[in-house]
Structure 1
Amino acid sequence: MDRSSYKLYHVHDHDSRAYVETYYSGNPDMPFKEDTLKTPMTKLHNAFKMGHITGKVLIDISGGPQVYHLCSACEYFQEIIPMRLTDKCIMEIMKWHKDRTGGFGWGHTIAHVTDLEGRSDQYEAKEMKMKSVIERVVKFDIESEDLTDIGVPQADCVITNMLLDKICKNQDDYMRYLRKMLCLLKPGGHMILLGATNTTFYTVGVQKFHYFKYDENFARDALVREGMTILQCEDTPRTSESPLSDYGGILFIVACKQK
């Protein structure tokens, strides 16, 4: 398929439920569980347990309704504010948050994190903790000149999970959108970036969606150019076999904003 025909996440708005069921479900035959779930959750657990990534507010700017990456973070912040580009994503998150009928179940990811924490018997308490620190989900426009105009405070930590990859067409886009995200971060705060390297597409349903192709060095350099100090950077090679996406690895970066 001609890459020019791939749809754009923030323009064409894919089916949020189909997306999480394809890439983040607990189904035994879900091919991506090591790459998209277990590896990132383990890295997040290890990063947070070191104790230096903590504070009052964490802002989560991600490309979909996934919340698995907040399982560890909820123990280290008083408030977590998910920011999403589409109404569908917000509705999907709120179904889970409010225990509404048909909400996507994140139990398999919560169970994995409680296992990592050595308290597998506290699954229900962990989910309640996650929901208690998420008081609101905010819709935003990535093209806004100043993301702070939507009424969110500057954060002690910003997590961005598979969003820049989906909305950027080129390196200039990446730098422009990254700069906007970093304006939400306090001096001395941390950014955690999750992405998929060397990727051109991902599939939701029968449709292929665009991914910006980049490598570890580009993402690392982009953060450094914006005044960030890299504390951890790992590109874990792909383990799954599936034609649904051509990603090469899962990128995990922790960086600190210089004061």
Structure 2
Amino acid sequence: MGRVSMFNVVSLLSLLLCLSTPSVISLSLPPLLSLFPPLLSSPSLSHPLISTLLYPPSLPLPPFLSPPPLPPFLPLLLSTPPPSPNPQSLFLFPLTSPPSLSGDMGGDVLVDVGSGPTLYQVLSGCEVFDTVFLTDFLEVNRQELRRWLQGEGYSSLDWTPYLQHVCKLEGRRPSAWTEKAARLRSVVSDILPIDVHLPRPLHPDSQLPTAGADCLVSCFCLESVSPDLASFTRALGHIRGLLRPGGHLLLIGALGESYYMGGPGVRIPVVPLDEAQVCASVRASGYTLVRLEVYTLPQGMMVGVDDVTGVFFVKARKP
């Protein structure tokens, strides 16, 4: 979904994901981050919109958390003007760039599991897949996504600077953001309720093809909505049912994280995962692990809203 101070490194994944040989890579962030110096000096990290995208309490809350009628972060988020399009604050990278979706990746249908009110995770995937489904547990998040789909001026959030920056990352002119926005609006087929703790996470009446999706993307969701490791593993198995045989899962999550702050006084529990547990859970839930990348966070990127120590990226395939 969207908790991402660590997402300064995500664009590097496009260099790695096309490789289909099973492998595990451990990298340290500091040398990687030197590739993005303009993006790491942002003065805007305290802005409510930025901090919500970095560490969103917009994740679909699991049943055991008894979600409130309105997520506590939302009034603050929606009452604050979006940040100006300052390039130094645009460090949210697309999770899946067209180069990374080439080769053995492809098809027609992409499903984002646990979208929250955010779009960055599909800003590049929408160029590869012709049908995109956004999903979230909370209706308030789905409403925000629907408002953006209605057109400019309806949404409470201004995605323009992020669209422009993703265009730049893709080698396009920043002014192409209007084309990208139009493309995304044209390919989003539906915004669906989802509960990853159910054996059938989507309602049977959803318009997802019977054969399943070609690709699932899920970002900082499953470990944040599961009470323990066993539930995390089961949730992975549940969403596996949304994939067609041969389809791919692109999973990004936090390592070593036991909580994150979802707002003033709102402490959201997280399953603290390590690299071995991620590998074991992916395999135990019926996927073939294609690639695992692990990034260690430097002290300077630990900003006090969680206790995360690193980030993992999984590329897996449903046999």
Return the TM-score normalized by structure 2.
Answer: 0.68
Q: Is the Cα contact below 8 Å between 1:140 and 1:150 reproduced in 2?
A: no
Corresponding letter in the other structure for 2:199: E
**1:164 Cα deviation after fit:** 0.5
Structure 1 gap segments, 5+ residues each: 1-7
What's 1:208 paired with?
A: 267
| In 1: Cα distance, 2:137 partner to 2:228 partner | 19
The residue correspondences of 1:81-100 to structure 2 (distance < 5 A) are 81-99=133-151, 100=153
Q: Is the Cα contact below 8 Å between 1:156 and 1:185 reproduced in 2?
A: yes
Alpha-carbon deviations, 1:57-77, whole Å to 9, x = none?
A: 111112522210101111111
What's 2:112 paired with?
A: 60
Structure 2 gap segments, 5+ residues each: 1-59
Query: Which entry has the higher C-alpha Rg, 1 or 2?
Result: 2
Q: CA RMSD in A?
A: 2.7
Corresponding letter in the other structure for 1:215: D
Does the residue aligned with 1:187 lie in a helix, a strand or coil?
A: strand
What's 2:257 paired with?
A: 199
| In 1: Cα distance, 2:132 partner to 2:120 partner | 13
**1:98 Cα deviation after fit:** 1.4
Identify if the C-alpha distance between structure 1 residues 50 and 18 changes in structure 2 by more than 3 Å, giving closer, same or farther. Answer: farther
Alpha-carbon deviations, 1:151-192, whole Å to 9, x = none?
A: 222101111122111111111101111111000100100001
Corresponding letter in the other structure for 1:190: H
**1:103 Cα deviation after fit:** 2.1
Q: Is the Cα contact below 8 Å between 2:61 and 2:67 reproduced in 1?
A: yes
Identical columns (%): 23
Q: Is the Cα contact below 8 Å between 1:9 and 1:167 reproduced in 2?
A: yes
Determine whether 1:45 maps to 2:97.
yes
Q: Is the Cα contact below 8 Å between 2:85 and 2:161 reproduced in 1?
A: no
What's 1:232 paired with?
A: 291
| In 2: Cα distance, 1:61 partner to 1:102 partner | 21
Corresponding letter in the other structure for 2:177: Y
What's 1:73 paired with?
A: 125
What's 2:318 paired with?
A: 257
Q: Is the Cα contact below 8 Å between 2:98 and 2:127 reproduced in 1?
A: no
What's 1:244 paired with?
A: 305
Corresponding letter in the other structure for 2:162: T
What's 1:113 paired with?
A: 166
Identify if the C-alpha distance between structure 1 residues 112 and 84 changes in structure 2 by more than 3 Å, giving closer, same or farther. Answer: same
Q: Which residue, 216, 223, 244 being the options, matches 1:158?
A: 216
Please identify, of 148-157 and 10-19, the stretch whose mean Cα deviation from structure 2 is larger: 10-19
**1:33 Cα deviation after fit:** 6.4
